[in-house]
Structure 1
Amino acid sequence: MQPDTCYPLTTDSLVDTFGRRIDYLRVSVTDRCDLRCTYCMPKGFNGFEEPANWLSHAEMHRLVSLFVCLGVGKIRLTGGEPLLRHGIAELAGAIAATPGVRDLSLSSNGTQLARHARALYTAGVQRLNISLDSLDADCMARVTGRDCLADVLAGLRAAKAAGFAPIKLNMVVQRGVNDHELHRMVQFAVAEGYVLRLIEPMPMGETGREAVGIDLNRLGQQLAHTYGLIPEIKGQGAGPARYWRTSDSSMSLGIITPMSQHFCASCNRVRLTVDGTLYLCLGQEFQVPLGAMLRDGADDIALLDAIRAGIAAKPERHEFTEQPAKIVRFMSQTGG
């Protein structure tokens, strides 16, 4: 569903009070997941959003279209695990066909990717981010709560066969859990031509606070030196990672450091949950109930005004370091 009314598009339609242009929307299509990664969701957790409160595909598309009206051109579909949502390829196709969407990507744990990759590519998804925390089946099972490595690797092969390139691998590095595999992961990424991104865990909820990370700044530089990688000036899109690449650009290594060196000053994104709640910052609680407004009958102008007001209230930065216990919601409840 396209919005009936749009404000005129301008190059600074969504600029917050700190001068950051917001042009990136991450949409959680479900908070369900078939894994229980230790840094994301507690073991045995079942406090999921009721399906009756989920936005329908049409409602999601309507809200996405309103953000696009305001100059947002980069959309990422996330979860939970987005490939568990029925009709995900159809939703992706509708969003990809929306005038003004210039980049549509999807984040996945990869377990369901083998049977969805071609449909996603055909629908217009341009890029994939796949979680891969280990190449050791036992370690992967300990981190995710399930013996899933073979499924994820099959999904990666299917994604390459479907035409996705480059594919980004996201590895959340935890001290004493998978940090011993860093060289193996780099070698795998080089051999397969993947972009490998090393990520520091964030204290999202109790389970996130239990994950012990590593300062990736020096480590990233050391790995780049070891493998002869050179700094990338443009990086890999508008995200927070800093990158190095091989001389032929066949592989890239990135680090994402929300804890040791935050990137809040350049934050260009907001998150929409499966029930239509808009979060302006992972590390703050301020939210805008766009889904509730929509279902209460708000017209497009009211929703556009609410989006603008929300962006105006976007916090300057997270407070994970100063107040690590502040955020009680888990990462899966906000959207990746």
Structure 2
Amino acid sequence: MNLNLSKGLIDNHGRKVDYLRLAVTDRCNLRCTYCMPAEGIAYLQEKQLLSWEEMSRLVNVLVGLGITKVRLTGGEPFLRKGIMEFLQEISKHPSLEICITSNGVLLGNYLEELNALGVRSINLSLDSLDPIRFHEITRRDEYEQVMASLHRMLDLNFKVKINAVVMKGKNEQDILALANFAKEYPVSVRFIEEMPFNGEGEKVETLNWLEIKDLLFQGFDHIFEIPMMMGDTAQRYQMEGFKGDVGIIAAHSRTFCGTCNRLRITAKGQVKTCLYDDGVFDLKTYLRSGVSDDELRNILINLNQKRPVDGFEAENNRKNTINESMTTIGG
């Protein structure tokens, strides 16, 4: 029996879910300290991942359920062969905003094609503008390549957000330098609290959003708070004379959960109705059992009727303690 689809995905707390974060791979060409161990993780084989065809089917069904925005994440999305063909396929949905999160290493090779497809919104993971600290954090020597991708995006007038994870004792000094980048360029720089998804199960001593805010306010005068909109994760600030803006994402403090509008699907097909849960449904196995689109719609609606109220409830409901890498989740 079909459920009422007219209202789309409305969760059990009355929140409209219209944003899909879809991880297309768990592989990454960096080894960021806050994401995975130096030796990396055991990556999934191709057959263990959702296929491009399965992901395209999911996007089709979810657009029918009111999803208006999809963000492709990883791992590093451009490490998986076939991504441009997939983007061409899902770009056929005129109502769908397509966004990408990338570390920038391979991104420069695809910018003209992305521009032609109308994929104009890219989040760049960049935790330092200092080449030495960049190497210490990522454990790779790719700074020049990433910066070349960033400046090429700006030349092509992409909508660029820079995501910087702030780590206590490692890169607090980069807060002002990154913020000043938004003075010179029309980018949105977002400082993100470090989260415990480092692949080692190690507890992190997080620099919380209020401490990040204090460091930011110490460096600038005339900072104006921009009101948050429904679904926003970043508290944004505008500074006088800046071409861009800055923001702070309380990812560990989880202050924004009340307006969450996201559904996450990992590269191996696990549905996550919250970043902090450990997967609530094996969608890949379900898809491969031969279900119809109606059955797929109904399971997605039902799963969104069981969402935790916030990330703390999701974490408390986990069967296992947090020990996964962010690259397996999709951010």
TM-score strictly above 0.5: yes
Q: Note the C-alpha offset of 1:51.
A: 0.7
Say whether the 8 Å CA contact 1:196–1:252 is kept in structure 2: yes
**Match of residue 270, structure 2, among 277, 291, 307:** 277
**Alignment partner, residue 160 of structure 1:** 154
**Alignment partner, residue 58 of structure 1:** 53
**Alignment partner, residue 230 of structure 1:** 224
- 1:78 matched to 2:73? The reply is yes
1:29-44 alignment, distance < 5 Å:
29-44=24-39
**Alignment partner, residue 335 of structure 1:** 330
- CA distance in structure 2 between the partners assigned to 1:274 and 1:206 by the alignment: 16
Give the secondary-structure state (helix, strand or coil) at the position aligned to 1:179.
Answer: coil
**Alignment partner, residue 164 of structure 2:** 171
Q: Note the C-alpha offset of 1:173.
A: 0.4
Deviations 1:5-24 (A, max 9, x none): x97753x3211111111111
Q: Note the C-alpha offset of 1:131.
A: 0.6
**Alignment partner, residue 15 of structure 1:** 10
1:46-195 alignment, distance < 5 Å:
46-101=41-96, 103-165=97-159, 167-195=160-188
**Match of residue 256, structure 1, among 215, 230, 249:** 249
Task: Mark the CA change 1:99 to 1:192 in structure 2 (over 3 Å): closer, same or farther.
Answer: closer
Normalised TM-score (structure 2): 0.91
Task: Mark the CA change 1:7 to 1:112 in structure 2 (over 3 Å): closer, same or farther.
Answer: farther
**Match of residue 308, structure 1, among 301, 307, 312:** 301
Q: Note the C-alpha offset of 1:99.
A: 4.3
- CA distance in structure 1 between the partners assigned to 2:211 and 2:326 by the alignment: 26
- CA distance in structure 1 between the partners assigned to 2:273 and 2:254 by the alignment: 20
Say whether the 8 Å CA contact 1:28–1:334 is kept in structure 2: yes
Q: Note the C-alpha offset of 1:221.
A: 5.7
Q: Note the C-alpha offset of 1:262.
A: 2.3
Say whether the 8 Å CA contact 1:113–1:159 is kept in structure 2: no
Say whether the 8 Å CA contact 2:200–2:324 is kept in structure 1: no
- Whichever residue aligns with residue 251 of structure 1, its letter is G
**Alignment partner, residue 3 of structure 1:** none
- CA distance in structure 1 between the partners assigned to 2:8 and 2:110 by the alignment: 35
Q: Note the C-alpha offset of 1:146.
A: 0.3
Task: Mark the CA change 1:89 to 1:124 in structure 2 (over 3 Å): closer, same or farther.
Answer: farther
- Whichever residue aligns with residue 207 of structure 2, its letter is I
**CA RMSD, Structure 1 to Structure 2 (Å):** 2.4
- Whichever residue aligns with residue 112 of structure 2, its letter is R
Deviates more, 1:256-265 or 1:216-225: 216-225
- Whichever residue aligns with residue 84 of structure 1, its letter is L
Q: Which ranges of structure 2 fall in alignment gaps of 5 or more residues?
A: none
- CA distance in structure 2 between the partners assigned to 1:316 and 1:233 by the alignment: 22
Instruction: Report percent identity of matched pairs.
Output: 34
- CA distance in structure 1 between the partners assigned to 2:31 and 2:169 by the alignment: 19
Q: Note the C-alpha offset of 1:213.
A: 2.4
Runs of 4+ residues over 6 Å off in structure 1: 320-325
Give the secondary-structure state (helix, strand or coil) at the position aligned to 1:83.
Answer: helix
Deviates more, 1:317-326 or 1:223-232: 317-326
- CA distance in structure 2 between the partners assigned to 1:178 and 1:304 by the alignment: 44
Q: Note the C-alpha offset of 1:206.
A: 4.9
Give the secondary-structure state (helix, strand or coil) at the position aligned to 1:75.
Answer: strand
